[in-house]
Amino acid sequence: MSVIIGFLFMAAVYLILSRSLLRVIIGTGLLSHGAHLLILTMGGFAGPAPPVVADGVTDYVDPLPQALILTAIVISFGVTAFFLVMAYRAYQELETDNMTLLKGNDEHD
Amino acid sequence: MTNLLLFPILIPILTASVLLFFPKRVAAQRAVTVVGLVASIIAALFLLRTVMTDGVQAVTLGSWPAPFGISMVSDPLSVSLVLTSLLITLGVVVYSFRSIGEGREKYFYYPAILFMLTGINGSFTTGDIFNLFVFFEVLLLASYLLIVLGGEKRQLRESIKYILVNVVSSAFFVTTVAMLYSVVGSLNMADIAEKVTEIGQSGILTVIAVMLILVFGLKGAIFPLYFWLPGSYAAPPVPVLALFGALLTKVGVYAIIRTVTLLFPHDPGFTHELLMILAILTVIAGCIGALAYYDLKQIVIYNIIIAVGVILFGVAQMNMAGLEGAVFYLIHDMLIKAGLFMLIGVIIAITGTSNLREMGGLMKTYPGLAWTWLVAAFGLAGIPPLSGFFGKLLIVQGAFEADNLWGGIIILASSLIVLLSVIRIFIHAFWGEPMPVKGTSAGIYRGLLIPAVLVTALTVFYGVGTEWLRPLMWDAAEILHQPSIYIDAVLKE
């Protein structure tokens, strides 16, 4: 699992460092996937049963990381939605999606 | 009233939710915002009194025993930070009436400020590391809205970078929390601190400590991680800039202070040494930036970076003098940065530019503004009767006690550069030949100047009333110095 997460992080870093804004956003998506999978992995995979109280089951998987991931997923979903709309607005106004062209200083500073 | 410490978080979020219902009625928006802020300030004052008389307040939500529920903790440091951010926000909101413009006010400007305040106060008060992440996201999401609201080209360009940096640092935060959870198996800060003490700070915990410094350093703009700040902060309008400059980086600084004093104080040879070196480099980088620019906003923005370095240098000493100085300086810096940004907003409103080369001779026409600026500039540099003096004195004393002679000298030298950078604004803008200015109506000028003067007056009282504030700061530093007080207050059962 850690190898897969490492690969996700690698791909995310590569995409975030690229020029096109959409590739950057895809990179942040992969980055949050990696982070969420990492929480799951770090919580450990011990315990076969899902964390639901049921008769005769004593060995549950750790429920805390799942709650953390759920929280982190909705947060990153909200941020990604905002970011995508921002990218759309920026494309309308600035007429480019090239990150290197976004650095200009139209003022004196 | 055990829930008293939640009121400074709950009142802003409730007020903000109410404000969402009538976005187009600007007068009502303003009135409700001010009422909500005043109510929160009163609650925070009561909380301050309770914390001073009865010690650290802790409440675990849902009445679960301490490590299992989410703990909220109010110690003297966090309550004074909460009170300071509420006062600053009130000042900035009153300042916004005259400067932000109806267009922005109709599109959820005040709710965004209050949601950001909720996140800030929550971050200062929480005792749970994942809850800290959530409050960080609350304040960041509101700040994304504030930085881009208005949708000018420059704002769009810079806010993309701002969001990207913060998304990456948030993902890093989640990663770090996951690793910390796998090592100690807890998310409650007091519980983590106790477990770290039990198992000893092994190599992996030091790695996690460095990762946390990295994460919070991205939020708080320390040396190699401050690259996003100058561009992003120059984009939004001045009141938003004042809020960001006074509050946002300080949340990162507070998180670093909390982490290195409470969770990872056991290997100071590595983590605190690293923090100290980074702090000194931050001060130097900030000094270079503060001298390099002829732009009002950039000069003060680089002064934020210097102050972050000074505060963290004080924390890295890990003795009472250094920690108390850091706490003093932290609150002084929040107040004075808000004041400075509001004052440059007045200058920009009068001259219509933020370029120092295009202004001059404002002393004759606007003497009130000039003298206020001079007082704020002296306060920032730490001239003795004013607010910046005592914190920096204690930080330098702490450095000398810990045998960091050169660090202390660099901090002292940085004060001179800070003074030079803001006095340069005074000389260029207020002295010399009067330049043609855009001018502004007397009403707007008064409406902008009065809140700015009030915030500056607050810093003057803060400096003059040092003796009166000393017990509070001493208690705050003592808890940072002896985390067992904090741990016992949270895990009392």
pLDDT digits (tens, 9 = 90+) for B257-303: 999 999 998 888 889 999 999 999 999 999 999 999 999 999 999 99
Average the pLDDT over each of A51-60, B76-85, B158-167 and give the range with the smallest value.
A51-60
Residue B441 near residue B370, CB atoms below 8 Å = no
Average the pLDDT over each of A74-88, B348-362, B416-430 and give the range with the smallest value.
B348-362
Please name the amino acid found at residue B435: M
Chain B contact for A5 (CB, 8 A cutoff): no
A89: closest chain B residue by CA: B156
Chain A nearest C-alpha distance from B68 (Å): 10
pLDDT confidence of A109, banded at 50, 70, 90? very low
Q: Supply B390's token pair.
A: 């005592």
Chain A residues lying within 8 Å of B295, measured CB to CB: 108-109
B→A contacts (Cβ < 8 Å), by residue, are 130, 133-134, 137, 140-141, 144, 148, 151, 153-154, 156-157, 159-161, 163-164, 167-168, 170-172, 174-175, 177-179, 181-182, 187, 234, 293-295, 297-298, 354-355
Chain B nearest C-alpha distance from A96 (Å): 11
Decide if A65 and B178 are in contact by the 8 Å CB cutoff.
yes
Decide if A79 and B154 are in contact by the 8 Å CB cutoff.
no
The number of C-beta contacts closer than 8 angstroms across A and B is 108
Domain-embedded: residue A105: no
Decide if A39 and B178 are in contact by the 8 Å CB cutoff.
yes
Decide if A39 and B297 are in contact by the 8 Å CB cutoff.
no
Share of chain B above pLDDT 70, in %: 100
pLDDT at B153 exceeding the cut of 80? yes
Instruction: List B355's β-bridge partners, or say none.
Output: B295
Q: What is the mean pLDDT of chain B?
A: 92
Mean local confidence (pLDDT), B325-352: 93
How many angstroms from the chain centroid is the CA of residue B164? 21
Decide if B179 and A104 are in contact by the 8 Å CB cutoff.
no
B137: closest chain A residue by CA: A75
Mean local confidence (pLDDT), B236-254: 94
pLDDT confidence of A99, banded at 50, 70, 90? confident
Decide if B295 and A108 are in contact by the 8 Å CB cutoff.
yes
Place of tokens 């202070």: B257
Decide if A39 and B168 are in contact by the 8 Å CB cutoff.
no
B292: closest chain A residue by CA: A109
Mutate one of A31, A105, A106 to test the B interface: name it (highest B CB count within 10 A). A31
Number of neighbouring beta carbons within 10 Å of residue B131: 21
Decide if A64 and B187 are in contact by the 8 Å CB cutoff.
yes
Decide if A68 and B177 are in contact by the 8 Å CB cutoff.
yes
For the whole model, what pTM was predicted?
0.94
B69: closest chain A residue by CA: A64
Domain-embedded: residue A108: no
**Residue from the list B170, B172, B355 with its beta carbon closest to the beta carbon of A108:** B355
Decide if A24 and B164 are in contact by the 8 Å CB cutoff.
yes
Domain-embedded: residue A52: no
Q: What is the C-alpha end-to-end distance of chain A, expressed in Å?
A: 48
Decide if A38 and B355 are in contact by the 8 Å CB cutoff.
no
pLDDT digits (tens, 9 = 90+) for B351-392: 888 888 888 888 888 999 999 999 999 999 989 889 889 999
Chain B contact for A87 (CB, 8 A cutoff): yes
Domains of chain A: total: 1
**Residue from the list B160, B170, B295 with its beta carbon closest to the beta carbon of A102:** B160
Mean local confidence (pLDDT), B458-464: 92
pLDDT at B442 exceeding the cut of 90? no
Chain B contact for A104 (CB, 8 A cutoff): yes
pLDDT at B254 exceeding the cut of 80? yes
Domain-embedded: residue A36: yes
**Residue from the list A32, A83, A90 with its beta carbon closest to the beta carbon of B156:** A90
What residues contact residue B100 under an 8 Å CB cut-off, 6+ apart?
Answer: B109, B237, B239, B240
A27: closest chain B residue by CA: B168
Decide if A109 and B234 are in contact by the 8 Å CB cutoff.
yes
**Residue from the list B153, B187, B234 with its beta carbon closest to the beta carbon of A94:** B153
Please name the amino acid found at residue B359: M
Chain B nearest C-alpha distance from A83 (Å): 7
Domain-embedded: residue A106: no
CATH of the domain at A34: 1.10.287.3510
Decide if B153 and A106 are in contact by the 8 Å CB cutoff.
yes
Decide if B167 and A28 are in contact by the 8 Å CB cutoff.
yes
Domain-embedded: residue A55: no
**Residue from the list A72, A78, A102 with its beta carbon closest to the beta carbon of B157:** A102
Domain that holds residue A6: 2-46+61-100
Average the pLDDT over each of A40-49, B25-34, B39-48, B415-424 and give the range with the smallest value.
A40-49
pLDDT digits (tens, 9 = 90+) for B290-327: 999 999 999 999 999 999 999 999 999 989 999 999 99
Residue B238 near residue B258, CB atoms below 8 Å = no
Domain-embedded: residue A70: yes
| Closest listed residue to residue B216, CA positions, set B177, B256, B244, B248 | B256
Chain B residues lying within 8 Å of A19, measured CB to CB: none
Residue B218 near residue B158, CB atoms below 8 Å = no
Domain-embedded: residue A76: yes
Residue B391 near residue B470, CB atoms below 8 Å = no
Residue B55 near residue B75, CB atoms below 8 Å = no
Alpha carbon distances (Å) from A51 to A46, A59, B131, B418:
12, 9, 22, 57
Mean local confidence (pLDDT), B460-466: 91
Decide if A39 and B181 are in contact by the 8 Å CB cutoff.
yes
Rg (CA), chain A: 19
Chain A residues lying within 8 Å of B148, measured CB to CB: 86
